[in-house]
Amino acid sequence: MHPCQHLSVVVPVYRGERSIDALVAELEPLHAQSQATPAGFSFQVDEVLLVHDCGPDRSDLVLERLQERFPFVRAIWLSRNFGQHAATLAGMAAACGDWVATLDEDGQQDPASLGAMVDAALRGGLQLVYAEPLNPPPHGPLRNVFSRLAKRLTGLLLGNSRLGRFNSFRLVEGEVARTLAAYCGQGVYLDVGLYWIAGRIGHCPVRLRQERGRGSSYSWLGLLRHFWHLVLTTGTKPLRLITYIGLGSVLFSLMLTAYALAQKLSGSVPVQGWTSLLMIVAFFSGCILISLGIIAEYLAVTMGIIMGRPLYVVSSHPIRPQGSLADG
């Protein structure tokens, strides 16, 4: 049988003045005594890490009060606003649990779903479990459509469509979370970093609730920056597109050359010098794009070094095949 699984819950707090009290109240029973998951495993929330990301409200006062009232609550104070992913990584670095769960501050994600996520992790031998909402997020239909489109594009860039189904409600193996926090550099998108380290990733169906407080902190412009940040950190595939376009241009130039020569031999070219000009422009345009693609490959290698992508990660226990249910 598996021993009791100890969880650390990380909550980035930006505008949580009106919502964080209720979330901690929901987490308190999960700390008071060990809980049984639907499949019969046991788990317990050992600590709740509230990372203050210096928002515009007085969340700091609420966090101070919660930290004094509940011994399992610990506030982490950032020096300025660094953003949700940086705040989450700060919480992961301070977490001590066997597993690290990440939740949003707005109450949209139900802590009662943690048991099902623990089941998915243990039964599937997973290192990372993402919540998979059964109902649309309460953001409005247009934003939800763009969110799904962005995630599908992410899966395409990462080479695995399942990996595009990420969510801020996650359950991460403790070693993976702490290793990521140690290695992850400036500008790395959190879920891309998790993809670098975690080899066994799964999903757990959950139902979302209405947001508490003031809703999402992201404007449309902020969401666009968030998406572009994701694209830039997915790896070498966006850069490699330049090489592919260059190769395609060279092939297209050869076809144009054949067409232009045929037109020249048949006497159908009305303008003198059109054939040679077309051949030269098409061929050398392709060569320039290939050269840019080679430079992009070097930039991709440099980007991987700068971002701090680890060469390897050592685990303290054997890595079992995904889907196996191993006794602990």
Tens digits of residue pLDDT in 36-78: 999 999 999 999 999 999 888 899 999 999 999 999 999 999 9
For the stretch 141-154, pLDDT in tens is 655 565 666 666 66
Each domain of the chain, given as residue ranges in start order, spans 5-232, 237-306
pTM reported for the whole predicted model: 0.72
How confident is the prediction for the chain on average, in pLDDT?
79
Closest by CA position to 213, among listed 28, 81, 23: 23
**Does the pLDDT value for residue 308 go beyond 70?**
no
Does 209 have pLDDT greater than 50?
A: yes
SS (H, E, C) the chain: CCCCEEEEEEEEECCCCCCHHHHHHHHHHHHHCCEECCCCCEEEEEEEEEEECCCCCCHHHHHHHHHHHCCCEEEEECCCCCCHHHHHHHHHHHCCCCEEEECCCCCCCCHHHHHHHHHHHHHHCCCEEEEEECCCCCCCHHHHHHHHHHHHHHHHHHCCHHHHCCCCCEEEEHHHHHHHHHHCCCCCCHHHHHHHHCCCEEEEEECCCCCCCCCCCCCHHHHHHHHHHHHHCCCCHHHHHHHHHHHHHHHHHHHHHHHHHHHHHCCCCCCCCHHHHHHHHHHHHHHHHHHHHHHHHHHHHHHHHHCCCCCCCCCCCCCCCCCCCCCC
| One CATH from 3.40.440.10, 3.90.550.10, 1.10.150.20, 3.30.460.10 for 5-232 | 3.90.550.10
